Structure 1
């Protein structure tokens, strides 16, 4: 989720995320290679009947501005969302490099929940000066707000109300931290870490559960008032990187989960790098652990001596190690507290057992975690039946009584896969209103079948079951000695990536958020990027016969955006794919697919780069967050751009009127050319690829632009569609640690002030939740 730029903070080096580098050694044909083949042979998308044309494959610092032979798509349409919006009537927000949050004319935006805000009685207001007591941070809003879900309450605040639109609970992820802003003078230099600083950082990870309501000037509930959070609500809580969490499902009690903290392998501490979210039909949050592998110290040169070859193979495939924040490098003032920091060292102690050290601690991360937002006493659970990888999101398809539930998940790393979990239990409508929600989670999430997607060149696809028998059969068919021999089904669930490799799943370009279009039941996934830059392998001119059809170099005017001609080339702008289950059955093992939308710069080569015909009203780079409104049917697309369009605009969110799989048209394949982004010679190439017709500005439009140096991520509405919550992550992240004593040099002052505005007083930037409403009280996007 978070961008590829990282700071070296004095002696503390924050390493690049594994997602950006990729650890998949598979030679299986990748997705964009299939795009080439399919689009070279057949019409891939058709113009939809509704006139929606989609590409082949839409406070301070808050401002309003102004017929072919392809396989048929799933045959039976699902019910259309209530009163769907078919034309975007708001004025597109222009691209912006201002340090503000800009929404269209006719909308208002207010910051309601910032990093450090107190969520318990007696906790003082956040000074935002790095001087707050570390002991209070587990009762404050975490850092780097990310995926978010809304859970309705009745107006009295006494009970769950799925239609409650005046009062509810926000449950949101705090993906990681921007540590330089959390401490008075930035991160203290040295080979060891300061205990108080690390305590803050650990507490600022995880999840917030916080009550929101409309209120009057006195802070009392008022259905006609303005939104704010309730500091003293008994429903508020934080789940941090230190919170006790249960291991649930097939890995519970497994030897691979045994640690010094839990010698029986049934518990762990904390949830890490929570990125995208999902929600269950019984009212729980599904939060996803993404870039967890880099948090642990594991010097391979010494630790490998004490590991089996099998263990080493798995650790390398997941990229375990890196010591991202150096949490293991604390000497506690009280020896009894040392275990809080020793737990971040994932190495074998010679002569010890797994119950004596933390050799297995990384095995307890990489899961979907279920949390009951309505019950502060409910212990969160890691649902191990759903596989272990870099989970980006977990989205469920529309439930059908008597059929199993399906949850779709992306593995956010270059060359990794799209997954589906199908429950063993079939859906009962009574479970939607159960009060023991975690027990319902046990029923649907602890037993089922995990699948991985294989995309075929003809526009069909197969869900490959990730079972021990299927993996062993695939390994036997491959011949030779398998690179990894699985011991049992629990081993398959633990090392999901290795099992998917063996099955021959289709490598994708960083699958991030998934979303379900409730009007059609199609499943969408963002593919953020696969550009080649320093230390990272991406698309090249000689390997675009794979799943990425575009090769080009990102330009900034007449200048390459990288320091050399080989940087920022390949699939820099990303794209979105979509899938339709056969017969719209979520438990099906086959599907149809196409590519929905290509990111691009508006003035780039329309034949090889801007394949969706984007204009200045809707061009974008690196789609990441994705969500469909069940109220309006609109798709909301959020960007995490770390370079492609940052010379023109900050990150953004767009609204799109979506169609369905198979609704577009193809264009002819194009030979290699020197035309590239900005029509500047740079060797653009599109090998044997067809693209879809252009979108229009009435069906894809920029809705908002965020402040400097931020990512826009996380979006949800109240059930009536009249209030939207959007998260702004890490404004000012590019500020170096050395700049902390000199606030004027911060790259953003948002949301306290606007950098660059006349008379603006410098302030440490904060991640924040913004509430958006329409001034006429109407539905968002209408």
Structure 2
């Protein structure tokens, strides 16, 4: 197996980025024509632009220096041995919570040689910290709360000598430890008497959720034949959650963790069955002799999705169908069981970001993070009612899943993925709404959704409800994601950010108007190391500090847009970008400033604040050298980092 740290992440990135979408896409002229006909038929025409008011058009005309951004920009970090976190003058960054730190009461202290076994890992912080959220206690919201933190996947340093196998089989003890290091950590945090944030341990709230945690199933797929396996003949209890990347929250205070690249964990050796089974093939489940990522199927039979007619329900052929969902977790009830909410649909989900209307209507936005995939939103049928939690939780089981179509004239439509409509019928492979949801990608293909350049995190402006999405990059355009107005660069190495306004500011609207907020990349007129002009496709439109590959995205309460990056900082084309970064943008002036740079080899991801925005947490995922010890020889550990202002003020001002 690949043990070199940088090689492991390069191989993983190559897997994650493989386009799977086989659908026929449209040329730009066809998109324009479809757009024109749709507008005429729908009666929107030019008058439809009026609902924007001073929105998108007004933003593009403003060039004044931002009043929102009050910090001094941090320079790029070009040192190949940089192994720390740098923030602006007047700020402090401190490591707060690292892989292996004790979580549950009986958790042992982490062993620097990684000799902890899987039982210890079940009680300790998992690996590769990602999306997260701060849940305040009502009696002291700015001083006391719970942090829910995703653990996306695992790195070779999880084991003393890296990942091993013998005669093509993984050791069960290693596999169990890797499964234990996935999932979510929930930890209690509070300010001490000196005003410093501390982890509370032990705490009755502290909890680890992993790939071994039993989970309930709700919504249209609960008990469905497509979720039944030899170990779960009722299709009612799923063991674990995988590849928890970004996240979301509900208005009633629960956490939504999202399962992204789960398909790498499974294997279907039956070539004909794999090709014919949409729920496997359309998502990239592995074929051949070994799964693409960890080879768990050699030690744990449920990850071998090859159909077995000798076992009930074909053995574990349906096990991949049990992943790719939104998982709801109640952080304040450590005895509660996580619930997989199947009405949201199944794909490689990057996040589930809430937009809440004044009347209680909701939308949850998600990206499907693969080249050529789509942007979705789920709209519950009912309305949020403050204080009516039993009613509210049922809202996540009934609603409409939509997929986005971006038209070349700047308009867009949300297309409903509903059985019986738009060709989603039994004759076309969708005999019920359950099949529509479990094969959401194929359903979106059928509707003619717009393929995108790796849609990742989304963020909703706290006042205007304007929606932003990061399109991280796509340097292999091919024919899966056609060049068009919404994916405008032929070799999109650096990525871009889109934004749109829903018609009338209504989260549940089915029409919207969109624009490109910025193209990431080099500054205009930049030159490479050899003094040559940077090619046009590598030049961005950023007003301020350059960056590449926007990934994490979030708004604070004052409307600052925080942008986190994820690029391979050892790649030749990224040399000028330094290490990965946290930046901040003013949505009105579009000015961008670099707030933080991380250690070599890491991704900067996950972001959350206390109410009042005087404490911020971000995650440093898969640092390559020896962070957080930064001593040149310690085992690197993914970590949550706390950021505060020295004067106790609001972050970013």
- State whether TM-score is above 0.5: yes
1:524 paired to 2:468: yes
For residue 677 of structure 1, what is the aligned residue in structure 2?
A: none
Deviation at 1:30, TM superposition (A): 7.7
Report the CA distance shift for 1:143/1:70 in structure 2 as closer, same or farther (over 3 A): same
- From 585, 588, 591, the counterpart of 2:509: 588
- From 448, 457, 461, the counterpart of 1:504: 448
For residue 103 of structure 1, what is the aligned residue in structure 2?
A: 87
- From 354, 370, 386, the counterpart of 2:344: 386
Deviation at 1:252, TM superposition (A): 0.2
Report the CA distance shift for 1:34/1:549 in structure 2 as closer, same or farther (over 3 A): farther
Distance 2:125 2:202 in 1: 13
Distance 1:143 1:31 in 2: 43
1:420 paired to 2:417: no
Show the 5 A alignment for 1:538-577: 544-545=483-484, 547-551=486-490, 570-577=491-498
For residue 152 of structure 2, what is the aligned residue in structure 1?
A: 175
Distance 2:635 2:319 in 1: 34
For residue 620 of structure 1, what is the aligned residue in structure 2?
A: 547
Report the CA distance shift for 1:32/1:769 in structure 2 as closer, same or farther (over 3 A): farther
Deviation at 1:466, TM superposition (A): 0.4
Show the 5 A alignment for 1:745-756: 748-753=625-630
What are the ranges of 5 or more consecutive residues in structure 2 without an aligned counterpart? 36-45, 56-65, 528-532
Matched length: 612
Distance 1:196 1:421 in 2: 39
Distance 2:493 2:212 in 1: 36
Report the CA distance shift for 1:286/1:30 in structure 2 as closer, same or farther (over 3 A): farther
- From 217, 222, 245, the counterpart of 1:247: 217
Further displaced range: 22-31 or 441-450: 22-31
Distance 2:329 2:27 in 1: 35
Aligned partner of residue 101 in structure 1, secondary structure: coil
CA contact (8 A) 2:456 2:470 kept: yes
Higher RCO, Cα 8 Å, sep 6+: 1
For residue 710 of structure 1, what is the aligned residue in structure 2?
A: 602
Deviation at 1:646, TM superposition (A): 4.2
Distance 1:594 1:282 in 2: 32
Distance 2:161 2:195 in 1: 39
For residue 768 of structure 1, what is the aligned residue in structure 2?
A: 639
Aligned partner of residue 297 in structure 2, secondary structure: coil
Deviation at 1:587, TM superposition (A): 1.3
Deviation per CA, 1:408-464: give whole Å up to 9, x if none.
Answer: 111111111111111111222333xx4xxxx45532110001111111111111111
For residue 58 of structure 2, what is the aligned residue in structure 1?
A: none
With structure 2 as the length reference, what TM-score do the two structures score? Answer: 0.88
Show the 5 A alignment for 1:127-276: 127-153=111-137, 160-161=138-139, 164-178=141-155, 180-190=156-166, 191-215=168-192, 222=193, 224-276=194-246
- From 450, 459, 465, the counterpart of 2:410: 459
- From 6, 17, 22, the counterpart of 2:19: 22
Distance 2:541 2:267 in 1: 46
Distance 1:32 1:317 in 2: 27
CA contact (8 A) 1:538 1:571 kept: no
- From 607, 612, 634, the counterpart of 2:560: 634
For residue 61 of structure 2, what is the aligned residue in structure 1?
A: none
Deviation at 1:134, TM superposition (A): 2.2
CA contact (8 A) 1:276 1:392 kept: yes
Q: What RMSD, in angstroms, separates the aligned Cα atoms of the two structures?
A: 2.8
What are the ranges of 5 or more consecutive residues in structure 1 without an aligned counterpart? 39-67, 78-84, 154-159, 216-221, 331-340, 477-481, 552-569, 660-694, 733-747, 754-759
For residue 109 of structure 2, what is the aligned residue in structure 1?
A: 125
Distance 1:485 1:726 in 2: 43
CA contact (8 A) 1:31 1:548 kept: no
Distance 2:381 2:416 in 1: 13
Distance 1:378 1:240 in 2: 14
Report the CA distance shift for 1:585/1:614 in structure 2 as closer, same or farther (over 3 A): closer
Report the CA distance shift for 1:394/1:730 in structure 2 as closer, same or farther (over 3 A): same
CA contact (8 A) 2:492 2:537 kept: no
For residue 723 of structure 1, what is the aligned residue in structure 2?
A: 615
For residue 585 of structure 2, what is the aligned residue in structure 1?
A: 656
1:319 paired to 2:295: no
